[in-house]
Chain A
């Protein structure tokens, strides 16, 4: 079993829908990262969380340390949000363990 599990693996949505991507992990962590990778390959770091909630534009990330779970929400989704979203955790070791990603497609 992977230490970091993401769900769903694939997600399609219509423009304007509210989207939730989930990340569960099985180890104690010092931080959790959400990354975005567009077709063509470039990776952008969206959030680093150690507790609570962060918001940037239409993106919201939350983390529940006790339940070992994080969610990434996209409000008012747009086709330009189509990408792979990757969760990664730091296990107090300064090394990252990655989930396998959630592929999101948003259709007009």
Chain B
């Protein structure tokens, strides 16, 4: 089954404690992306990757890191989480934005105390 998986689905943590949210897709997609969703602000893009070892900033990259060492995986790293990073996070993948719809992961609800 074609899918994008994210782990964990729910996470409560404290300020400053490094964490990683994993994202994996089994469709051999080249494009992968991370989004955050906040009430009143909607979805916003954090980082995206066009292919292995190619990543670029979205609109809200501050406080986040990503890496793309393998095609299937695109982890999101918060090195020193802060309460303003409390949000619902989605990973997505596609062949490319211009020719294909995106497949979204189930979301990760993160709370930073």
Contact A44 B104 (CB under 8 A): yes
What is the minimal beta-carbon distance from A38 to any residue of chain B, in angstroms?
12
Contact B98 A96 (CB under 8 A): no
Interfacial chain A residues near B99, Cβ < 8 Å? 31, 48
Interfacial chain A residues near B96, Cβ < 8 Å? 94
- Chain B, interface size: which category? 20 to 34
Instruction: Give the distance in Å from the alpha carbon of A33 to the alpha carbon of B48 in the complex.
Output: 16
Contact B43 A86 (CB under 8 A): yes
**Contact pick for B98, options A41, A44, A47, A50, CB 8 Å:** A50
- Chain A, interface size: which category? 20 to 34
Residues of B whose CB lies within 8 Å of any CB of A are: 31, 33, 35, 40-45, 48, 50, 56, 58-59, 88, 90, 92, 96-104, 106-107
Contact B48 A46 (CB under 8 A): no
Contact A96 B106 (CB under 8 A): no
Residues of A whose CB lies within 8 Å of any CB of B are: 30-31, 33, 35, 41-48, 50, 86, 88, 90, 94-101
- In the complex with contacts A42-B107, A95-B58, A100-B42 CB distance below 8 A: yes
